[in-house]
């Protein structure tokens, strides 16, 4: 090993079996480093089991915001010997491996007797605190930050236990000198980070729903979407929100529509399999014009697929779920910030236009953690868009705009009649085909679609806009592409879509400026590229695809772009 100096950032990978505590290492370390003024980003991959197996967390610590997975580890800290070798790509000749000789054996490993030190401090289970200390030492974290973070993190625990953990961490710091022989880290701190939030994709979506005044959550647990349900449940006594775990996803969607019908903003969170079951209910939202907001955290399919892994394979499911013609909106946030504001916006648009709105994330996204500025609450909206009804109220009044004022039962003198059969303005079943059916489709599909399209969020453009090559991304891959550009000598043009449906009206003009288009997506069938081709009619020259169940790393994308430049 050569002595190496890192000044901008360091990437650290922890691996261990489920239940060994790498999650708590991640939690404490990210809090600790953020408090110290470092930008942090951590992403995890884990097996679909509660105990055992091999899971890992990759933590990036940097002088600036770096929110994308990295391939290489500068530091690797295995708590068990990896028998599956799926972390092999992370280890290079420059990687410093830190481990306990008695547990793991690697060539050139820096041996740190975690358990022995932990035992000395009071208990073997403090090993993770020793590990935290080692990393803190490398990153020059002050004792006071250690003390504050541990005290807060272990709040409610016995004082003795807290002190012993702090001691274990401090012992870890002493050990870090051994690593500094191989690797010196000198990353600039940024004091403004200290006041930022440390937030996961899950929390960003859940807080977005809270910011929209969500009052009814019905869901059925399904990885990787369950976290949002758990968060909302945890906050429900503060937010006065009904949380109900129901019998299946068919109930989920029908309950949500019942709640919206009665004037409560409802929210649901699911993954592809659950959304598949909701399909008929989404169509019911379409014809009854009852708002609906759903978070879909994708995982690889088909079938049960890989429950704890990541993929962007449900774009077409979300785009086409539900029979018949009706408008819909699909957001695909690429950052936690986007996830928060887009979830807030999803409720607003669902309410204003009375359409289903989807927030499409994935496992990689919801399970990643980073620091981000505190939300600007002046930018959120939470006003209801139902109206007080008059005696002669007609739920489906034909309007110029396409939106019929939405009444709710018990508010006003009118009656609110909604029907999943084709209906007239009042909500009565009709088979008047040439007039009523036609007028209803023109109202709720064509006119409303035009309204929805006026609110489209334009793609974010970056890179070298004059380049002949355009690299397109959507949803969670956006940051990895942006970071990949920084690794390239001459970056192409980049375009990230955080709204994937409807697309901007001038999409064809935007895209046809480029000679060649490459689309980066975490799926096998190039779903967004297919949409662009079909809808904008522009040819896509290159599909950069990954479907292993793992997210793209920035290095991987950089290599792919280089090969087509």
Partner 1 sequence: MSENIFDPHVKDIAWCPGCGNFPIRKIMLEMLEELELDPVNTVMVSGIGQAAKSPQYIQANYFNGLHGRALPPATAMKAANPELTVIVESGDGDMYGEGGNHFLHAIRRNPDITAVVHNNMIYGLTKGQASPTTSKGMKTPVQINGVFLEPFNPLAAAIALDASFVARANALDQDKTKEIIKKAVQHKGFALVDVFQICVSFNKVNTAKWFKEHTYYLDEQHDTSDRSAAFSRAIEQDKLPLGIFYEQKNKPVFEESFPLYQKDKSPLFQRTLNKEALEKIAAEKTE
- Distance from chain centroid for Cα 452: 24
Closer to partner 1 at the Cβ: 292 or 497?
Answer: 292
Report d(CA 328, CA 283) in Å as an integer: 10
Among 14, 41, 375, 514, binds partner 1 (CB under 8 A): 375
Among 96, 131, 138, 255, binds partner 1 (CB under 8 A): 255
Q: Shortest distance, CB of residue 304 to partner 1, whole angstroms?
A: 20
Q: How many CB atoms lie within 10 A of CB 205?
A: 29
Q: Is 492 helix (H, G, I), strand (E, B) or coil?
A: coil
Select the span of 67-75, 209-217, 462-470, 533-541 touching partner 1 (CB under 8 A). 209-217
State which H helix or E strand residue 496 sits in. strand 493-497
Which two tokens mark 223? 């990885």
Residue 321 within binding range of partner 1, rule CB under 8 A:
no
Q: Shortest distance, CB of residue 379 to partner 1, whole angstroms?
A: 13
Report d(CA 211, CA 214) in Å as an integer: 7
Among 17, 125, 233, 246, binds partner 1 (CB under 8 A): 246
Per-residue x/- marks for partner 1, 436-475, CB under 8 A? ----------------------------------------
Select the span of 8-16, 309-317, 414-422, 536-544 touching partner 1 (CB under 8 A). 414-422
Residue tagged 């530091």 (tokens): 75
Q: Shortest distance, CB of residue 76 to partner 1, whole angstroms?
A: 29
How buried is 304 (Cβ within 10 angstroms: 0-12 exposed, 13-18 middle, 19+ buried)? exposed
Among 44, 215, 345, 496, binds partner 1 (CB under 8 A): 215
Q: How many CB atoms lie within 10 A of CB 309?
A: 22
Torsion of CA 464, 468, 471, 472, to 10 degrees: 100
CB 106 within 8 A of CB 77: no
Q: What phi and psi, each to the nearest 5 degrees, are found at residue 319?
A: -70, -35
Select the span of 62-70, 127-135, 193-201, 485-493 touching partner 1 (CB under 8 A). 193-201
Residue 275 within binding range of partner 1, rule CB under 8 A:
no
* Contacts (CB under 8 A) with partner 1, residues 122-161: 152
Residue 191 within binding range of partner 1, rule CB under 8 A:
no
Sign of CA dihedral 545, 483, 13, 50: negative
Among 227, 281, 286, 334, binds partner 1 (CB under 8 A): 281
Report d(CA 131, CA 112) in Å as an integer: 9
Q: Shortest distance, CB of residue 377 to partner 1, whole angstroms?
A: 6
The residue among 170, 168, 150 whose CA lies nearest residue 159 is 150
Cα distances from 537 to residues 18, 512, 533, 534, in angstroms, run 47, 9, 5, 5
Q: Shortest distance, CB of residue 260 to partner 1, whole angstroms?
A: 8
How many residues interact with partner 1 (rule CB under 8 A)? 68
Per-residue x/- marks for partner 1, 496-515, CB under 8 A? --------------------
Residue 104 within binding range of partner 1, rule CB under 8 A:
no
The residue among 179, 7, 186, 187 whose CA lies nearest residue 95 is 179
Q: Shortest distance, CB of residue 337 to partner 1, whole angstroms?
A: 13
Cα distances from 458 to residues 248, 478, 501, 507, 510, in angstroms, run 36, 14, 11, 9, 10
Residue 254 within binding range of partner 1, rule CB under 8 A:
yes
Q: Shortest distance, CB of residue 234 to partner 1, whole angstroms?
A: 9
Residue tagged 């040439």 (tokens): 434
Pairing state between β 4-6 and 460-463 = unpaired
Select the span of 108-116, 370-378, 438-446, 481-489 touching partner 1 (CB under 8 A). 370-378
Residue 257 within binding range of partner 1, rule CB under 8 A:
yes
Which two tokens mark 530? 């297919």
Select the span of 52-60, 424-432, 484-492, 531-539 touching partner 1 (CB under 8 A). 424-432
Chain residues binding partner 1 by CB under 8 A are 31, 152, 195-199, 203, 207, 210-213, 215-216, 218, 235-242, 244, 246-248, 250-251, 254-259, 261-264, 266, 280-281, 284, 288, 374-375, 377, 382, 384, 386, 408-421, 427-429
């Amino acid at each position: 090993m050569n002595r190496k100096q890192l000044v901008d950032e360091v990437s650290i990978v922890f691996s261990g079996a489920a239940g060994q505590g790498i999650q708590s290492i991640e939690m404490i370390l990210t809090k600790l480093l953020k408090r110290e003024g470092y930008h942090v980003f951590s992403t995890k991959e884990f097996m679909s089991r509660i105990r055992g197996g091999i899971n890992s967390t990759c933590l990036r610590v940097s002088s600036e915001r770096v929110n994308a997975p990295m391939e290489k580890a500068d530091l690797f800290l295995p708590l068990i010997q990896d028998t599956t070798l799926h972390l092999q790509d992370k280890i290079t000749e420059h990687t410093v491996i830190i481990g306990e000789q008695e547990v793991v054996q690697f060539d050139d490993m820096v041996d740190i007797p975690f358990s022995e030190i932990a035992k000395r401090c009071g208990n073997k289970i403090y090993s993770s605190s020793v590990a935290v200390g080692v990393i803190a030492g490398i990153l020059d974290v002050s004792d006071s930050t250690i003390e504050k973070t541990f005290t807060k993190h272990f709040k409610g625990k016995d004082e003795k236990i807290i002190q012993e953990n702090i001691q274990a961490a401090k012992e870890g710091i002493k050990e870090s000198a051994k690593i500094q022989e191989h690797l010196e880290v000198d990353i600039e701190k940024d004091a403004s980070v200290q006041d930022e939030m440390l937030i996961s994709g899950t929390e960003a979506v859940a807080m977005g729903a809270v910011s929209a005044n969500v009052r009814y959550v019905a869901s059925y647990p399904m990885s990787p979407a369950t976290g949002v349900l758990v968060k909302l449940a945890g906050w429900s006594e503060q937010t006065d929100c009904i949380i109900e775990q129901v019998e299946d996803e068919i109930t989920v969607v029908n309950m949500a529509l019942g709640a919206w019908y009665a004037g409560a903003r409802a929210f649901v969170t699911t993954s592809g399999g659950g959304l598949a079951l909701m399909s008929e209910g989404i169509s019911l939202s379409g014809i009854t014009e009852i708002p609906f907001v759903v978070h879909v955290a994708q995982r690889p399919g088909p079938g049960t697929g890989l429950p704890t892994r990541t993929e962007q394979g449900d774009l077409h499911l979300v785009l086409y779920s539900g029979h018949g013609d009706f408008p819909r909106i699909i957001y695909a946030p690429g950052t936690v910030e986007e996830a928060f504001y887009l979830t807030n916006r999803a409720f607003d648009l669902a309410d204003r236009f009375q359409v289903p709105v989807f927030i499409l994330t994935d496992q990689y996204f919801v399970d990643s953690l980073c620091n981000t500025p505190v939300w600007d609450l002046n930018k959120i909206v939470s006003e209801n868009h139902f109206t007080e009804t008059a005696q002669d109220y007609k739920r489906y009044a034909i309007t110029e705009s396409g939106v019929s004022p939405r009444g709710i039962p018990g508010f006003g003198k009118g009656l609110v009649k909604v029907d999943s059969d084709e209906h007239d303005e009042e909500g009565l079943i009709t088979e008047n085909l040439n007039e009523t059916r036609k007028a209803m489709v023109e109202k709720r599909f064509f006119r409303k679609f035009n309204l929805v399209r006026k609110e489209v969020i334009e793609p974010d453009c970056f890179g070298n806009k004059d380049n002949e090559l355009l690299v397109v991304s959507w949803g969670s891959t956006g940051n990895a592409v942006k970071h990949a550009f920084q690794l390239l000598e001459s970056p192409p043009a980049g375009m990230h879509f955080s709204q994937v449906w409807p697309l901007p009206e001038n999409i064809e003009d935007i895209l046809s400026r480029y000679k060649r288009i490459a689309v980066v997506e975490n799926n096998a069938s190039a779903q967004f590229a297919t949409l662009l081709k079909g809808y904008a009619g522009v040819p896509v020259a290159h599909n950069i695809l990954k479907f292993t169940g793992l997210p793209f790393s920035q290095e991987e994308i950089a290599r792919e772009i280089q090969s087509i430049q």
